[in-house]
Amino acid sequence: MAETQNLFSNLQHSRDAVCRADGLACARGAITVFEGVSFSLAAGQALCLRGANGSGKSSLLRQLAGLLPAAAGTLTHPDPAYGTHYLGHADGLKAALTIAETLAFDAALAGYRADNDAYADIAARLGLAGCDWQFVGDLSAGQKRRLTLARLIMDPRPLWLLDEPMTALDAAGRALVTDLAEAHLENGGMIIAASHETLDFADEEVLLEPRR
Amino acid sequence: MSGLMRIFAAICSQHMHLSWRSGQTMLAVSFLFIAITLLPFGLGPELKLLRALAPGLLWVVLAISLLTGLERLFQADYEDGTLDRLLLVPLAFEAVVLAKLLGHYLALVLPLILAVPLAGLLLNIEAARLPVLLAAMLCGSPALVLLGGIGASLAVSVRRGGLLTVLIAMPFYVPVLIFGAAAGRAGLETGVAVGPYLGILAALSAASLLLAPFAIAAALRSALR
């Protein structure tokens, strides 16, 4: 418990970190999904990506995570291997693992190990009961979504890329995301989220225009 | 344990854990036994014939049991988004791939190889002759997993890509099967040197170990785009 608390709380990210796109374009096969997208994000800022279905919000997030190469333009962002969290549509959860085992894997990917009490603590903070015995496969969509938030808490990284962060979450779950996001921004973190909803923590918006 | 080691160990042990929990290990071992048990029905109960064919049959059945498990090597992680996540860890992706392959080897292939002596007895190989066959399999099986991994990574984005995986991987298996079966046959006879065969099998494994992680990582990266 003590170990995890020290790791998570009051971590200040570098105030010099930036995330910038300049004339960014994305191509899927022969189709250009978007082009000429530019924005700049400094420490402590959050950006909300807006646009119709198929306008390339998820592709832009994947580009920012380094999973998809940019067709044109330049990207400046923290090294994805150390500095980026990407929470996409696919949650990366394993149905056959318990919540505690999932959290232990998250911790290991962050490079440390905590004890079961710490995992139970995090699960409780995310509003999940039965940490030791509950299998991920038995969780509801909203509960799974909450469980993915554990990564954000357990591995402090400056840039969060969130694809539809409010999907499947109830009011308490949305408040949880907003709280986590606000704390992250206060610590000098950056957030880029794609969403159709109003995100309280985002102060800027980028609209991806549909191309004809 | 350093952070990078911990990540490697976590990926490896999670893979082992999941393949054990999903019953993959038991299924593959059971498949090996069923296949070996069925062979005498097809070939006839001629003990001499069975013994002569045994090394080759055991290698082929081992390769097939191994191939059936390969489909899920990366596909589950590809579909549920785990691979996206594993690209964003401080560990080089080639090392991530190696961790998964090691987990696969320990969880699935090692139990298969340990089951082979028992299966060999069913095919009328004397217990005293089995260590050579076992040694040959220990030397050659890493190559089977690593080369099979290339097939699995190339077919990762294809739903129900198991058969495609087999088609891609099988041709790579030819050298291992040739030298593996030859080592097994040499082990059945007295006075024939098996060392060179084992050496070639180990060399095939070593070469695969050097090259396959890069090929697999590249294939997976391009599948994730």
Give per-residue pLDDT as tens, B197-224. 999 999 999 999 999 999 999 999 999 8
- How, if at all, do strands A190-194 and A159-163 pair? parallel
Q: Where residue A147 falls among pLDDT bands split at 50, 70, 90?
A: very high
Q: pLDDT value at position A212?
A: 54
pLDDT for A109 beyond 70: yes
How many Å apart are CA A174 and CA A164, to the nearest integer?
11
User: In Å, how far from its chain's centre is CA A50?
Assistant: 16
By the CB < 8 Å criterion, does A101 face chain B? yes
pLDDT for A36 beyond 60: yes
Q: pLDDT value at position A8?
A: 52
Q: Where residue A211 falls among pLDDT bands split at 50, 70, 90?
A: low
Instruction: Give chain B positions within 8 Å (CB) of A85.
Output: 88
Decide: A32 and A147 in contact? Cβ < 8 Å: no
Give the domain range for residue A32: 2-95+155-208
Question: B190-211 b/e with 16+ CB inside 10 Å = b?
Answer: eeeebeebbebbbebbeebeee
Q: What percent of chain B has pLDDT above 90?
A: 64
pLDDT for A5 beyond 60: no
Kindly state whether residue A108 falls inside one of the protein's structural domains: no
B138 to chain A nearest CA, in Å?
Answer: 30
Question: Which chain B residue's Cα is nearest to A63?
Answer: B225
- A92 to B84: CB separation less than 8 angstroms, yes or no: yes
Kindly state whether residue A109 falls inside one of the protein's structural domains: no
**Average pLDDT over chain B, rounded to whole?**
91
User: What is the arrangement of strands in the sheet containing A159-163, beginning at the earlier edge strand?
Assistant: A84-87, A159-163, A190-194, A46-51, A204-208
B158 to chain A nearest CA, in Å?
Answer: 17
Could you tell me if the ipTM is greater than 0.90? no
Domain count, chain A: 1
What is residue A75's three-state secondary structure?
strand
Kindly state whether residue A114 falls inside one of the protein's structural domains: no
Decide: A1 and A178 in contact? Cβ < 8 Å: no
What are the residue ranges spanned by the domains of chain B?
3-223
pLDDT for A92 beyond 80: yes
Instruction: Give chain A positions within 8 Å (CB) of B224.
Output: 67
Interface of A with B in 36-65 (CB under 8 A): 65
Residue partners of B213: CB distance under 8 A and separation at least 6: B94, B95, B97, B98, B101, B146
By the CB < 8 Å criterion, does A97 face chain B? yes
Q: Where residue A10 falls among pLDDT bands split at 50, 70, 90?
A: low
Question: Which chain B residue's Cα is nearest to A91?
Answer: B81
- B85 to A92: CB separation less than 8 angstroms, yes or no: yes
B222 to chain A nearest CA, in Å?
Answer: 9
Instruction: Give chain B positions within 8 Å (CB) of A88.
Output: 81, 84
pLDDT for B185 beyond 80: yes
Q: pLDDT value at position B107?
A: 94
Residue partners of B99: CB distance under 8 A and separation at least 6: B7, B8, B9, B11, B12, B15, B91
- A90 to B89: CB separation less than 8 angstroms, yes or no: no
Q: Where residue B192 falls among pLDDT bands split at 50, 70, 90?
A: confident
- B225 to A69: CB separation less than 8 angstroms, yes or no: yes
From the list B79, B82, B87, the residue facing A67 with the nearest CB is: B87
From the list B7, B80, B225, the residue facing A108 with the nearest CB is: B7
Q: pLDDT value at position A1?
A: 37
Q: Where residue A2 falls among pLDDT bands split at 50, 70, 90?
A: very low
